[in-house]
Amino acid sequence: MGWFEEVDGGEAGFAVDELHGDLGAGGEVEGVEGFGVEGVDDAVEAGAEERGCGTEGGVEGDALVVEAELVTAAWAADLTDAADIAAVADHVRASLAADIGDGAGRVHGDGGAGELDQDPDATASVLAFAALQAVQAALPEYRASALGRLGRTEEAEAEAHRAYRTEQNRRWFRHNPNGQDAITAAAKAADTARGRTAQYLLAARLEQLREQAAARTEQTTAAPWTERLSGFAARPLDDELGR
């Protein structure tokens, strides 16, 4: 990972073009032979099931990937632009694919190609679990990066400034508001306010993204029925009556 920590330009509007060089043609990550972005869900789901979680484990694995996408979109995407959100999701999957590929390479390196080839089923299990572990390890980094970015938004800076001034003007600091004790306490209050605001913004944006995703799912489910009803309405009544 690391691409999401290097994109400039605030929390909204993802610099997608700058990231295309990190991806190979056809959605495959360079340096990860045979592992494409589209394989992330399958790999993580298999790893969750190998851990002994069964179907629920697979759901958990899928949820980890989706959560990584949403957490990153919360700061990196324009939340009113579905295409921008989708672009962020694509690049998150590409980054996860690279992480999984790196883990697979370490497994092969530690186990030895010849030894692994002798037991392909066991190898598949180890690789699947490594995929799950890669995503589990990556998610806290995505969240930390999101909080860091959201902590630099105008809202967070305003709350930090307000907390700084409030602490600095407390009665026990009024005699020397610019003294070391006052400055230290004010800076601590500002950091706390900034972090609290970042947490609030992340939670609010995640809720918005989930609501939007649910609405899209409902529209997709309802669309076939709408199309069928439109088709029936367009047919002449004589056809329905067999005339």
- Taking only the tens place, the pLDDT of each residue in 205-241 is 999 999 999 988 777 665 565 555 555 555 555 554 4
pLDDT tens readout for residues 162-202: 999 999 999 989 889 999 999 999 999 999 999 999 999 99
Instruction: Classify residue 177: in a domain, yes or no.
Output: yes
72/181 same-domain check: no
Instruction: Classify residue 146: in a domain, yes or no.
Output: yes
192/120 same-domain check: no
More confident residue, 106 or 94: 94
Domain end, chosen from 150, 179, 213, is at 150
43/115 same-domain check: yes
Instruction: Classify residue 48: in a domain, yes or no.
Output: yes
CA 13 – CA 10 distance, rounded (Å): 8
71/105 same-domain check: yes
Structural domain boundaries, residue 210: 157-226
Query: What's the N-to-C CA distance of the chain in angstroms?
Result: 66
Instruction: Classify residue 63: in a domain, yes or no.
Output: yes
100/185 same-domain check: no
Task: Give the type of residue at 5.
Answer: E
26/132 same-domain check: yes
Instruction: Classify residue 212: in a domain, yes or no.
Output: yes
Instruction: Classify residue 234: in a domain, yes or no.
Output: no
Cβ-contact 122, 99 below 8 angstroms: no
Instruction: Classify residue 116: in a domain, yes or no.
Output: yes
CA 73 – CA 92 distance, rounded (Å): 9
127/195 same-domain check: no
233: exposed, middle or buried (Cβ count in 10 Å: 0-12, 13-18, 19+): exposed
* Tally of structural domains, the chain: 2
Q: Does residue 105 carry a pLDDT above 50?
A: yes
Cβ neighbours of residue 40 closer than 8 Å, sequence gap 6 or more: 65, 93, 96, 97, 100, 131, 135
128/77 same-domain check: yes
Instruction: Classify residue 231: in a domain, yes or no.
Output: no
77/193 same-domain check: no
Domain end, chosen from 150, 176, 211, is at 150
136/162 same-domain check: no
How would residue 109 be classed by pLDDT, with cut points 50, 70 and 90?
A: low
* Core vs surface per residue 108-142: b (16+ CB within 10 A) or e: beebeeeebeeeeeebebbbbbbbbbbbeebbebb
137/167 same-domain check: no
How would residue 23 be classed by pLDDT, with cut points 50, 70 and 90?
A: very low
Domain end, chosen from 150, 175, 209, is at 150
How would residue 48 be classed by pLDDT, with cut points 50, 70 and 90?
A: low
85/167 same-domain check: no
What's the mean pLDDT when you consider all of the chain? 75
CA atoms within 13 A on the CB side of 60: 15
